[in-house]
A and B are shown apart, each in its own frame.
Chain A
Amino acid sequence: MYEEQVKVRNVPGIHARPAALLVQEASRFKSEIFITSEKLTVNGKSIMGVMMLAAETGMLLIIKGEGPDEETAVKSLVSLIETAFEEE
């Protein structure tokens, strides 16, 4: 198990488009991905789950990976959130 904490930076938060990008990125990995906010924990590969996080700017999230590529997966998701989805 590997986990890291990250702060949401992009202004509207992880809503429609960023949520889709996050799920697509998480789905590239073999490991199970869980994202935890103050209120709930969701499956990082589930668009519905990520939408339910309703992660606004400034919110702290814990990204947890469990599986063969857990560290790479978590790091890649953290960097996606940190660089604020800028490849979009």
Chain B
Amino acid sequence: MRHSTHLTFWLRAVQAGLLAVAICFSLGATDASSRFNDLGHRMMCTCSCAQLLGECNHVGCPESGRMRNELSDAIAAGKSDKEILTWFSAKYGATVLAAPTAHGFDLVAWIAPFAVFAAALLGTILLVRRWSVGKTQMAAADTSTMDPAERERREQIRRETGDGGF
């Protein structure tokens, strides 16, 4: 009973945490300079330097200056983030985007890590709970026929070894 109360508490705490993170991610930057910075970090420079557009500064880069100007112009023209990314993607190809998009097959890229983690976490929790229940039943069966002195000695050992080494 106490176990399930604790579990419910932790599950709620995790849910609250996930909700907070989700709310955080749903908000976005608003002013022009932060939009420029944000979008510049969501695209790659196409000069093969493998750097983000917002960070590409290598000597004599033939692409980043022009791409930054295009980005500034698009922001000044009042285009939305989605429109800007779509425009760049159409002009330079899908590889200009620094991360997969959130639709189509790209969505799998985002879902898989969390799905794997959730499945592994759930599997581990269920496994440990099954083991612990089995252990408790075995211990109950074991101690029911035990004399009180022996039970007390075992409890003492458990208490004293409970805080063992690394």
| A and B: bona fide binding partners | no
* Interface residues of B, Cβ cutoff 8 Å to A: none
